[in-house]
Amino acid sequence: MSDSTHTSTEDHLNPKIVDARRREMAIEHILFGTVRFLAHRHPELLAELDGSLDHLWDCEKGEDRDDEAVRTIARRMLKSLRAES
């Protein structure tokens, strides 16, 4: 909304963080749609992706790194894609 009286939670956040979150949502949407499109034509794609999850890791350093949390998100995405097939 362009109304100057409009405020949102985002108004108080770092603009770089807000922009990064929006980019992440857009990229996730486009990638998810692409994988869904390809999986309808190549059902083996989801099994191939599922088999690759052991190699997926969190690029964060230190105590914030959680490889399994990243894999869990990927598993949920694959489960959702399978449900749509």
Report the chain's mean pLDDT, rounded to a whole number: 88
Domain for residue 2, yes or no?
no
Average pLDDT over residues 51-78: 94
Domain for residue 61, yes or no?
yes
pTM of structure: 0.69
- At 84 the pLDDT is 83
Q: Provide the residue range defining the domain that includes 50.
A: 9-84
Domain count, the chain: 1
Domain for residue 30, yes or no?
yes
Domain for residue 4, yes or no?
no
Domain for residue 49, yes or no?
yes
Domain for residue 36, yes or no?
yes
Q: Which residues of 36-46 are buried (b: 16+ CB within 10 A; e: fewer)?
A: eeebeeeeebb
| Residues 38 and 45 sit within 8 Å (Cβ to Cβ) | yes
Domain for residue 70, yes or no?
yes
Domain for residue 1, yes or no?
no
Question: Confidence band (pLDDT; 50, 70, 90) for 7?
Answer: very low
